[in-house]
Structure 1
Amino acid sequence: MELLQGFLSTTFEFQLPFLVTVFVTLGAFYRGYAKFKTASLQGRNLPPGSLGFPVIGESIGFVSAMKKNNRREWVERRIRKYGPLFKTSLMGSHVVILTGQAGNKLIFSANDAIRSNQTMSTAAIFGKHSIFELEGSRHKLLRSVMMNYLKPDNLQKYVVQMNSIVKQQMLQELQGKDSVQFVPLIKKVTFDISCSILFGLPEGMEKDILFHDSDIAITGSWALPLDIPGTPFRKA
């Protein structure tokens, strides 16, 4: 027993200086990083806001709000504090969030004055040729093709098909159940409608596999860009 106590005492005495060194090093790193970022942002006409912690920024709070379906509240808290235009740091990238009708009008009428700059996770998963990364004439061309399906005349052609898909999904999900989760159901219905109308995919295993893969990709795009086994980003 005395031998064990002596061993534990010796181990603790050995670990204590090591732990102190680690905490001091991390503290110095944090202060140095904060000074570097502050100096690099000085002189720029940036909106108010908080960049949060180094690297991770405010990602943890944002992802937590997403999981609880409180994303709107997360944004509104910062609007009350900083105004409709504020900066933050999400998924390893510094971003500016522009809210309200005036903000939407500016984005959609700015033509080539505003360049796309997605988070590191989104850019890595969806690639440089996705609609999120395209700019200028190429982005306009792809967006016009997609918006063509949303014109009133075209939507009228697909109403019957959409109605059939919604009914089929509702009956399938409610079979043998008293209740269903609404948000996952709406995601599945929206995905099925998109696959059927835009790509002409029939019902079956192929569509189910595609939905599963797309869900993993979307989850990874809202995760920290950590390419480590087991992380959502690595899975995507």
Structure 2
Amino acid sequence: MSVFGSPTVLLTGPAANHFVFSNQDLIFTQSKAVNALVGRSLLTVSGEELKQVRSAIQGYLRPEIMSKYIWKMDEEVRKHIDLNWAGHKTVTVAPLAKRLTFNIICSVLFGQEAGPISEPDILGKITEGE
């Protein structure tokens, strides 16, 4: 398929994850448009850095480890939807997705609820977070 005019491959599911994380010879690239939208990701890391990242991630993505934290992730997603999506006619997805990711990291990795976050709103003013 094509995304933003660049040839793109979409892989999903456990077999695709295994293929991607176990194949050391894969080379990932992103178009400039996708890179601007997504930023730095696992797909932009290569070489020795990629090997280090993969080995660090694989330990945390095992099913027995994930099952310990899925309830926390579910709780964060439900709270996030109630606070930021329910009752809103429109939402700005990218900043909300970043906030949700940050909240999940705080909850799962640090065992703490994220505190208020100051961030620019779409008009460029600073607003206090939740």
TM-score under structure 2 normalisation? 0.51
Query: Which of 24, 36, 47 is the matching residue for 1:111?
Result: 24
TM-score under structure 1 normalisation? 0.33
State the alpha-carbon separation in 1 of the partners of residues 9 and 47 from structure 2.
20
State the alpha-carbon separation in 2 of the partners of residues 145 and 170 from structure 1.
30
| Residue 204 (1) aligns with residue 115 (2) | yes
| Residue 146 (1) aligns with residue 57 (2) | yes
Q: State which structure, 1 or 2, has the greater radius of gyration over its C-alpha atoms.
A: 1
State the alpha-carbon separation in 2 of the partners of residues 180 and 189 from structure 1.
19
Alignment identity in percent? 24
Alignment of 1:1-236 (within 5 A): 75=1, 90=5, 95-98=6-9, 108=20, 110-112=23-25, 114-120=26-32, 122=35, 126=39, 131-173=42-84, 177=87, 184=93, 187=97, 189-198=100-109, 202-206=113-117, 209=119
Letter in 1 for 2:55: S
Distance 1:181-1:139 versus aligned 2 partners, 3 A rule: same
State the alpha-carbon separation in 2 of the partners of residues 117 and 181 from structure 1.
32
Q: What CA RMSD, in Å, does the superposition of the two structures yield over aligned residues?
A: 4.4
Query: What are the Cα deviations for residues 147-187 of structure 1, in whole angstroms up to 9, with x where unaligned?
Result: 32221121122133223323422443477x3x666994x83
Q: 1:117 offset after TM fit, Å?
A: 3.0
Q: 1:199 offset after TM fit, Å?
A: 5.9
* Residue number in structure 1 paired with 2:127: none
Query: What are the Cα deviations for residues 122-151 of structure 1, in whole angstroms up to 9, with x where unaligned?
Result: 28x846xx5333223321220232232221
Gaps of 5+ in 2: 123-130
State the alpha-carbon separation in 2 of the partners of residues 100 and 131 from structure 1.
14
8 Å contact kept, 1:166–1:189 = yes
Larger relative CO (CA 8 A, sep 6+): 1 or 2?
Answer: 1
> How many pairs does the alignment contain?
113
State the alpha-carbon separation in 1 of the partners of residues 72 and 92 from structure 2.
21
Gaps of 5+ in 1: 1-74, 79-87, 217-236
Secondary structure class of the residue paired with 2:42: coil
Secondary structure class of the residue paired with 2:7: strand
